[in-house]
Amino acid sequence: MSGPRKNVGILLPPAVAYSPRILEGLMRHPQIHQKCMVIECPHFEPGRSPLLPGASALDAAIVWAEPRDHWVHDLIAQGTRILSCGAEWDGTPGVASVYFDRPEMHRMVIDHLKSLGLRTAVGMGHKLGLRPASRRLLEGFAEMARGEGIDAQVWSLEGEGSPAMAPGRLLQAHAEHQLADFLRTLKLPAAMLCASDQMAVIVCEVAARQGLRVPEDVVVIGESDNPLAATTRPPLTSIAGNAVALGETAAVVLIDWLAGGAPPSQPVIISGARLVARESSTGRSESVAIERVRRLIERDAVRGISLAELVAASGLSTKTMVRHYRAAFGVDPIDEVNRLRLAEAKRLLVSGPSKVAEVAASCGFSSPAAFNNYFRRHAGCSPSAYQQAAAGVSESAL
């Protein structure tokens, strides 16, 4: 490539955490500095061109754009070489695509959900009716998850203002009634894989307003590992593509294309994603193993799960598992099992005319005698005495 320097536009949304990383990777290529004039034109709103009317023609542009961004077609008509960082422009003449290996990212998420014992998941994007490629990718996630025994579906957040590109939507989470209605339909516990960290923050906020706990009821996973992810409450688990490698590859493609070569006939796929596990999926322990134990206790405490079963689920030694669980939750795991089991037994004893034998069976005891001994040891009286005392209090209150 010789002659005057080529004008290369960086038409990326500044609110997307990948954008500065892509630019960092691009600028690592020495010929970009030598032969190109790199011009940043931030892209703030879908549908609106980031270029001013009458702007000089660009020789090439790196874009993060949606199908409704018709200005991309205008650039192509002007002879601008377009490199898309997403799948939405695949197959468009004049466009080369370099984007993340989504199946790799989805496999990491599914393995994470399986390690937590989750069996319900949702892939969530924004305005998927206008973004068919994004919908197909999320449907691929759902299909992959179903193949692993996870009941998965795809759901689209509507409304103007993509959370990733219009962070002001974070300040209006109280108005996300559509999302609140959807969360109420979910079989819990469930996981929400969100198209951005900003979207994941909104899910956390709306879930809390619905009385749902993150991650106990709803595991929330974002994308891009935005600085927001580590500082929000709870800190977000996030899956992040290798955006620097994407920028480096984009530079190689553009330099060759600007020198007269042909653009790649197929998308260039960038691997090397990473999953950063934080509290929105692992809980306060920030340990998958300990969160798995906590979920097992919450689900099976009433039947009287044993320490050996908890240790087996964690994959840790007994001493390590107990120490980490106590550090995260301030209580020994078996003490928590006993607390939950006893609480359920007390609830059943006072909630109706249940016989002690029926309560014993409901709480997983092999016999009324075993239940009687357990209840005396932990409650200080027999189940019958507790039931009678509770009935006496109820009658005296009438």
Question: Distances in Å between the alpha carbon of 106 and those of 230, 240, 242, 343?
Answer: 21, 11, 14, 39
Cα separation, 187 vs 203, whole angstroms: 16
Q: Report the C-alpha gap between 148 and 143 in whole angstroms.
A: 9
User: Residue 1: what pLDDT?
Assistant: 52
* Whole-angstrom distance, CA of residue 44 vs CA of residue 14: 7
Sheet of strand 36-40: strand arrangement:
36-40, 6-11, 60-63, 81-84, 95-100, 268-270
What are the structural domain ranges in the chain?
Answer: 6-99+243-270, 102-241+274-282, 288-396
pLDDT at 2 over 70: no
Record the pTM: 0.80
pLDDT band (50, 70, 90) for residue 221:
very high
Q: What is d(CA 218, CA 42) in angstroms, rounded to the nearest whole number?
A: 34
Q: Can you give the pLDDT at residue 21?
A: 95
Q: How confident is the model at residue 397 (pLDDT cuts 50, 70, 90)?
A: very low
Count of alpha carbons within 13 angstroms of residue 345, beta-carbon side: 30
Chain centroid to Cα 161, Å, comes to 20
- Mean pLDDT across the chain, nearest whole number? 90
> Tokens in use for 275?
């999953």
Give pLDDT tens digits for 78-116.
999 999 999 999 999 999 999 999 999 999 999 999 989
Question: What torsion, rounded to 10 degrees, do the Cα atoms 290, 121, 138, 183 define?
Answer: -120
CATH class of the domain comprising 102-241+274-282: alpha beta
Arch. (CATH architecture) of 6-99+243-270? 3-Layer(aba) Sandwich (3.40)
The model's pLDDT over 284-316, given as tens digits with 9 standing for 90+, comes to: 777 888 888 888 888 888 888 899 999 998 888
Residue 370 vs residue 122, higher pLDDT? 122
Q: Which amino acid is at 328?
A: A
Are residues 268 and 97 in contact, defined by beta-carbon separation less than 8 angstroms? yes
Which superfamily, per CATH, for 288-396? Homeodomain-like (1.10.10.60)
pLDDT of residue 55: 67
Residue 48: partners with Cβ closer than 8 Å, 6 or more residues away? 71
Residue 3 — pLDDT band, cuts 50, 70, 90?
A: low
- The count of other CB atoms within 10 Å of the CB of residue 53 is 5
Same fold, 6-99+243-270 and 102-241+274-282: yes
